[in-house]
Structure 1
Amino acid sequence: MSRNEQDTAAATRLTGSIVVVALVSAISGLLYGYDTGIISGALLQIGDDFGIGHVWEQVIAASILVGAVIGALTCSRLSERRGRHGTLLLIGIVFVAGSLAASLSPDPILLSLSRLVLGFAVGGATQTAPVYVAELAPTAYRGRLVLFFQIAIGVGIVIATIVGAAEVIDWRVAIGMAAAPAALMFVLMLRLPESPRWLAREGQLDKAEQALSRVRETGSDLSTELAEIRANVEEEQQASTRGWAGLKAAWVRPALVVGCGLAVFTQLSGIEMIVYYTPTILTDNGFSDSTALRVSVALGLTYLITQLIGLAIIDRVGRRRLTLVTLPFAALSLIVLGTFFVTGNDGKSMVPWIVATLVAFMAFTAGGIQLMGWLTGSEIYPLATRAAGAAAQSASLWGTNVLITLSLLSLMNAIGTGQTFYLYALFNIVAFGFLFRKMPELTGRSLEEIEDHLSRGRFAPADFR
């Protein structure tokens, strides 16, 4: 092996610092999954402690999502102006403060406000952590390291459902426990550098080289990687369509429609209904608390396992194909589930069938459309509008989540549990039609190819065959 080949190989190896970067991203993803998932089991205790009904339960569950919308939009701008590193340090502090404040809240009002603060960190993490990892990781490992965030969300949901199902941990302790990994995330961030790409964009080329050298093997030749970073920064700065204003451009609009439409339908699929409210829905329909909480654990494990399977096959099956194949089965699962409740077949003898249908729905949704919500935001938009596009997509996702969470239990009380499942089945059918017509197959296409299709006005599914 020549000297140049040795330098190139050294520059693309994983180092201890890169592993720490991926660990920080994983912790932020775990906190996202845990903090949003823990409310599922905790609501049963919170309702008893505070003596509140479904309206307050919806507000408490949704407050973290309102905060997430604010956090996603705010941290998008903050990370562009002040850097990824400083933004993640702030997010770590807010995670700790929000977790402790929520666990100590004396009434539902302060609990909701504390979870609003916690939501700021959740939304900010979804916006900033994957970008930070992508900008520091060697190209050969970038995809796998960024996906640590997605996998960690599932791990966080599983841990939250297990904690809830244990029924021996007070809800205050369960919520406050999240402060420990949040503090660890903050401490780990202290030893990491700023993003070299952000530093280069700010004209700090010497600091960019220093930052890159801290996450590459000692003695590596960084000239090629630094040249690529400079070229990308120059391309972004020279682009005529940039930032939030660039999203208004006619040629960018198809990407925005697909991205934000996909984000909305990931929530209208019904998965958040299942993640947040399964114990409440089941106990309201005669299930015991223990049974309902154990079902949540099964659903959390299904979420994690099918996400791992989906991530393993997505590049072979294709994003569009995987989504379109799984959506009809998700809709069918909800139709069957709704029929159980509409026809009165929701008693103890039907528990195995209801659980099996819930698991089937979770498998087809988590292993299908749920994989696309965060993935497409990093690849569908032109380079100069990518940060703004990802933020708009994230806000669309969280905003839809807020509306669902605030209205779901009231909707079930108004029209019935089974009818609500039918409604969400209809949303899945509409999602299939929308994505069939609008979403091209992006698998195997470089970011430059995708941008070229957009610029030429050829972004329909037929244009990518």
Structure 2
Amino acid sequence: MTHDPDRASPIKGLNGRMLMAAVVSAISGLLYGYDTGIISGALLQIAKEFHIGDTMKEAIAAGILLGAVIGSLACSLLCERFGRHRTILLVCVVFIAGSLTCSFAPSAVTLALARVLLGFAVGGATQTVPMYVAELAPRTIRGRLVLCFQLAIGVGIVIATIVGASEAVSWRAAIGAAAVPALVMLLGQLRLPESPRWLVERGRVDEAERVLEDVRPDGYDIAPELEEIVELAGHQERTGRRDRGWSGLRQPWVRPALVVGCGIAVFTQLSGIEMIIYYAPTILTDNGFPTADALRISVALGVTYLVMMVVGLWIVDKVGRRRLTLVMVPGAALSLFALGAFFVTGHSTRADVPGIVACLIAFMFFNAGGLQLMGWLTGSEIYPLAMRAAATSVQSATLWSTNLLITLTLLTMISAFGVGQVFWIYGLFNVAAWLFVWRRMPELTGHSLEDIERHLKNGKFHPGDFART
């Protein structure tokens, strides 16, 4: 049995280049969280400046989500043709351009269109960056490195909620400031290599070997890892082009991975996270809460999200993806059921604030520390190399489309059914998410990307087919 040097200690699987990749991933996640969250507070100022109504507010808020769907689909084609590295460089440039265009928008319509451009970068980052980091990382720390992206989303959300709660920063400065971390991300990515797996797929094995040597610590034996990648790429070459890219997604053996990936993407949104992040202040103020209290609660929720991202970052590779999700989802469901009960029974007065806040924070604790961790992590791991870019783009577009649907329908649902009943509906979505994970999601912790692909090819992609290694 070949010695695997990163088995001894996870820290030994990390060197300077891999750390830089984690930093780039973190910045892209921060931009995602900040750019999607900052509009909530900024809309108050934007509405006054441009004298717009609810319809244009929704268009401005939803523009980034529409752009994200487009970006996630388009960047899959760019990833396959030009590589992960150059695609991420393009995403960085679009982040900068989108942020500045939004900041200097002369009208509400221009701002809505600029938000679509910014959304292209957000969607492209979610499709490309986690996949790129997963393809660079040693398997024993892959989960934690990919989750740097998810962790930074929480940082971005917290910063956005604090800026929004202060109401002291101009919306143009708040949105335009995102160009600074985007520039830092661009400079960092310029120092990073192409994905070794993409290089092998293109027949550039010598370059892939140099990349692996560059991103692994001194003394790391890359031969077994490179051999495994080359062997799998050779098998894919023999299968022909029908098994590659978008056309490869039609292969029956790929379907279980698509079902798991897209199912997780849908349930991360239907779990209620977007409802809480985007609309918690609106829901609370509409039910008699003072605006200042609602904004402070929003900050507390953002901080809870961030803390649970940190916890998840450190334990996911130890506890396991599937096990952690199954443990945490029931807590999120019960929190929403209890929260709904406060409103349905009329216990939503100022005297009930502690109980309502406790339910909101409990929901964020269980949701952010479980299901939310899996949204981008599973997509970076479960798909075959030959169609990974196309499959991750489908998963990313599924997530963003679900997000867009929720954003455009949530307030209408509350008006039709009542706020408490809507919390119950989302609680039921969490029950459905738990059943889905229990029945369909295998435990991927400790398995290399190539081992996961072999399970998929052999038709052994159910929870009972994977043993912890």
Which 10-residue stretch deviates more, 407-416 or 199-208? 199-208
1:23-77: per-residue Cα shift (whole Å, max 9, x none)?
Answer: 2221111111111121232233333433444433332222111111111111111
Task: Tell me if the contact between 2:37 and 2:161 (Cα under 8 Å) persists in the aligned partners.
Answer: yes
Aligned to 2:456: 454
Q: What code does the residue aligned with 2:420 have?
A: G
State how many pairs are aligned. Answer: 458
Relative distance call for 1:43 and 1:315 in structure 2 (3 A) is same
Aligned to 1:55: 55
Q: What code does the residue aligned with 2:96 have?
A: V
Unmatched runs of 5 consecutive residues or more in structure 2: none
Is 1:188 equivalent to 2:188 in the alignment? yes
Supply the distance in 1 between the matched residues of 2:311 and 2:219 (Cα, whole angstroms). 38
Give the C-alpha shift of residue 377 in structure 1. Answer: 1.3
Supply the distance in 2 between the matched residues of 1:438 and 1:416 (Cα, whole angstroms). 33
Supply the distance in 2 between the matched residues of 1:345 and 1:24 (Cα, whole angstroms). 46
Aligned to 2:173: 173
Task: Tell me if the contact between 2:96 and 2:179 (Cα under 8 Å) persists in the aligned partners.
Answer: yes
1:359-410: per-residue Cα shift (whole Å, max 9, x none)?
Answer: 1111111111111111111222334333322221111111111111111122
1:403-458: per-residue Cα shift (whole Å, max 9, x none)?
Answer: 11111122222332222212211211222233333223333444455444433434
Relative distance call for 1:47 and 1:408 in structure 2 (3 A) is farther
Supply the distance in 2 between the matched residues of 1:61 and 1:449 (Cα, whole angstroms). 41
Give the C-alpha shift of residue 464 in structure 1. Answer: 4.4
Is 1:347 equivalent to 2:346 in the alignment? no
Aligned to 1:267: 269
Is 1:128 equivalent to 2:128 in the alignment? yes
Supply the distance in 2 between the matched residues of 1:211 and 1:449 (Cα, whole angstroms). 21
Supply the distance in 2 between the matched residues of 1:347 and 1:53 (Cα, whole angstroms). 29
Task: Tell me if the contact between 2:139 and 2:447 (Cα under 8 Å) persists in the aligned partners.
Answer: no
Listed as ranges, the matches of 1:219-368 within 5 Å are 227=227, 229-239=229-239, 241-368=243-370
Listed as ranges, the matches of 1:423-434 within 5 Å are 423-434=425-436
Supply the distance in 1 between the matched residues of 2:189 and 2:383 (Cα, whole angstroms). 29
Supply the distance in 1 between the matched residues of 2:88 and 2:317 (Cα, whole angstroms). 30
Aligned to 1:42: 42
Relative distance call for 1:463 and 1:135 in structure 2 (3 A) is closer
Relative distance call for 1:448 and 1:231 in structure 2 (3 A) is closer
Give the C-alpha shift of residue 85 in structure 1. Answer: 2.0
1:215-248: per-residue Cα shift (whole Å, max 9, x none)?
Answer: 5679998766655554443233234633222222
Task: Tell me if the contact between 2:72 and 2:123 (Cα under 8 Å) persists in the aligned partners.
Answer: yes
Q: What code does the residue aligned with 2:411 have?
A: L
Task: Tell me if the contact between 1:302 and 1:363 (Cα under 8 Å) persists in the aligned partners.
Answer: yes
Aligned to 1:75: 75
Listed as ranges, the matches of 1:137-216 within 5 Å are 137=137, 141-205=141-205, 207-208=207-208, 215=215
Supply the distance in 2 between the matched residues of 1:427 and 1:143 (Cα, whole angstroms). 26
Q: What code does the residue aligned with 1:237 have?
A: E
Relative distance call for 1:14 and 1:342 in structure 2 (3 A) is closer
1:92-117: per-residue Cα shift (whole Å, max 9, x none)?
Answer: 11101111111222333222211111
Task: Tell me if the contact between 2:201 and 2:386 (Cα under 8 Å) persists in the aligned partners.
Answer: no
Task: Tell me if the contact between 1:44 and 1:280 (Cα under 8 Å) persists in the aligned partners.
Answer: no
Q: What code does the residue aligned with 2:360 have?
A: L
Q: What code does the residue aligned with 2:98 have?
A: G
Which 10-residue stretch deviates more, 217-226 or 332-341? 217-226
- Where 1:192 maps in the other structure, the secondary structure is coil
Supply the distance in 1 between the matched residues of 2:98 and 2:349 (Cα, whole angstroms). 40
Task: Tell me if the contact between 2:232 and 2:450 (Cα under 8 Å) persists in the aligned partners.
Answer: no
Aligned to 2:113: 113
Relative distance call for 1:439 and 1:207 in structure 2 (3 A) is closer
Listed as ranges, the matches of 1:406-417 within 5 Å are 406-417=408-419
Task: Tell me if the contact between 1:39 and 1:276 (Cα under 8 Å) persists in the aligned partners.
Answer: no
Q: What code does the residue aligned with 2:144 have?
A: R
Which 10-residue stretch deviates more, 353-362 or 219-228? 219-228
Give the C-alpha shift of residue 213 in structure 1. Answer: 5.9
- Where 2:294 maps in the other structure, the secondary structure is helix
Task: Tell me if the contact between 2:79 and 2:389 (Cα under 8 Å) persists in the aligned partners.
Answer: no
- Where 1:234 maps in the other structure, the secondary structure is helix
Q: What code does the residue aligned with 1:398 have?
A: W
Give the C-alpha shift of residue 339 in structure 1. Answer: 2.2
Relative distance call for 1:443 and 1:193 in structure 2 (3 A) is closer
Q: What code does the residue aligned with 1:440 have?
A: P
- Where 2:252 maps in the other structure, the secondary structure is coil
Supply the distance in 2 between the matched residues of 1:139 and 1:371 (Cα, whole angstroms). 17
TM-score (norm 2): 0.88
**RMSD of aligned residue pairs (Cα, Å):** 2.9
Which 10-residue stretch deviates more, 297-306 or 80-89? 80-89
Relative distance call for 1:42 and 1:279 in structure 2 (3 A) is farther
Q: What code does the residue aligned with 1:27 have?
A: I
- Where 2:348 maps in the other structure, the secondary structure is coil
